Amino acid sequence: MNVHVTQRQTWLKAAVIGSLWASLEIVIGSFLHNIHMPFAGTILGFFSLSLLIAFHQKWQDKGLILRAGIIAALMRSLSPSAIIIGPMVGIFLEGLFLDSAIRIFGKNKLGYFFGAFAALSSNLLQKIVSILIFYGFDIVVVLENMYHYALKQLNFPSLQLNTLIAILLGMYGIVALIAVFLGSTAGKKALLQSNEALEIEFTDKTNLFISNPNRKQSTWLLFIHFLLILVGLFILSYSPYYLSIPAVISYVILVRYKYPNSFKRLSKPKFWIQLIIIVLFAALFFNEFNSKEFFNPKGLLTGLIMSFRAVLLVTAFTAISLELRNPVVKAVLYKKGFSQLYISLGLAFGALPSLVEQLIKPKVLLKSPAKQIAHLINFSDDLLKSFQNESDQDQKIILISGKQRQGKTTFLKEIITQLEQAEISFDGIIAEGIDVNGQRKGFNLVHLKTNKTYPLATTTPTSGFTQYGRFYFDETVFSKVNKLLTDTTSNFIIIDEVGPLEIQDKGWSSAIKKLLKTNIPMIWVVRKSLLAPVTNHWQITQAQVFDIGKYTPNKVVGAIKKQISI
């Protein structure tokens, strides 16, 4: 088995574990949240680590747990409004620490224990780092004074902070030991039982980079937001409050205007209540509690600065998470070798609703955790097979590739002539360029079945048209022709071309999604520079690629005849 196939198989297994892990996080997390369970995060981490340790009894691929952590983190954290940094980091660290400990200490209980202990302890570290990032080091002074004040009130003046942390770490150690025992027991139990069948109805796979079609994205804005975080933190720390606070407010207003309906966290009363509490505690405890000076002015100002620091970061992270969905970012990830992650994540998302509905029962898990975890593992082989079948659909796709304006459409017309001579039934579209004095001024779209021409795009600003790049497109043509393509009765489809718009789920993407499900043979015309982004976006793994500089139309027609006869 070659390296590519092995990596693909490992990523599919990671999708299985990640989807079950995310299902557990969603269902059990919601259950614990609804009953207001104390230490819900630690309890959820305990069950997640038990599941991972149990799975490691079955599959021991190198790096599998880390990959599963990446998938589960993205599944748990992606939302229509913004990426939630906290859960994403927490889940990722669980996978990272457990995977690393197994590599260092071996595939044994010692490795499991150190991995589980580090993962659980990371929750505390994550909270500390998160507080420092959002509120700065001034929060340490406030919390330290609050801690000493509380000890005096409780008559525990000698209880040092390091002692309290040691007690907490000891509790994490006990929980880690139980997780190792539970995971090992459940994993071994699953190996002795027969696999169970599972019916998965895949929904449309989630696209990490779907963006609002009415919002223009810019890679420059992504870097600007990162830069403004540094600038904002600097002015909050070193500039007068009457300059720094208005500057942050201005940035929030601009971001709110640029990304409407995307301020989920800032719209929650809980967030603002937390900030008010921070301000009040800073005023009370910044210089230790003093009954003669109930509100310390310096502490009050420090609390305000800490609160606006948090507002700045939440605003910036919201903007950055939206700009990260830029298809340009996606294309870069493909070039860097992250296509398998994207495909695996799409499969995991597609199966998630079925998994949540069928598998995870909170009360059963809490009552008989080993039995329920073993039950999940018994479904894994069937789920893996479903992922393999979904990924390996016999996609009969031929890609006609060449550089921009190299003659792809002319090449395609020669193919169409030969198809007509061979009396092969086909349907589709050709985009004919409109050139004036050697310059491309627009496109006309020809529907091959009816031979009807539609004015599709122009460089001239036109009322009712939508601008993409330097061209203005008639969206009504997209709607009309997408319907024509999906309603076709032909046994072969031609689409000229599949490019940047389709990668953004615009253009002909609606028809392509439906046609891929029918497994109808297709020709796509694709620019050479966009081959990787297009094939990865549509998860095309078995396409035949014909470079117009290396092949003749005869070769392509021969391939078409073979596909139709299959």
Which domains, from first to last, does the chain contain?
3-210+338-391 (no CATH), 219-323 (no CATH), 397-565 (3.40.50.300)
Instruction: Pick the closest to residue 211 from 200, 224, 222, 226 (CA basis).
Output: 222
pLDDT score, position 142: 64
Strand, helix or coil for residue 235: helix
Backbone angles phi, psi at 397, to 5 degrees: -115, 130
pLDDT score, position 305: 83
Global confidence as pTM = 0.61
CA distance 501 to 488: 22
pLDDT score, position 390: 72
CA distance 317 to 311: 10
pLDDT, averaged in runs of 10, over the chain (566 residues): 62 90 79 72 89 93 92 68 62 92 92 94 75 68 64 63 79 94 92 76 55 60 86 86 90 86 70 78 65 66 82 81 63 59 77 72 75 86 82 74 85 89 88 86 90 90 87 90 88 88 87 84 89 79 82 86 68
Contact residues for 488 (Cβ-Cβ < 8 A; gap 6+): 427, 449
The string over 211-234, giving b where at least 16 C-beta atoms fall within 10 Å of a residue's C-beta and e elsewhere, is beeeeebeeebbebbeebbeebbe
pLDDT score, position 1: 42
CA distance 386 to 493: 27
CA distance 378 to 192: 10
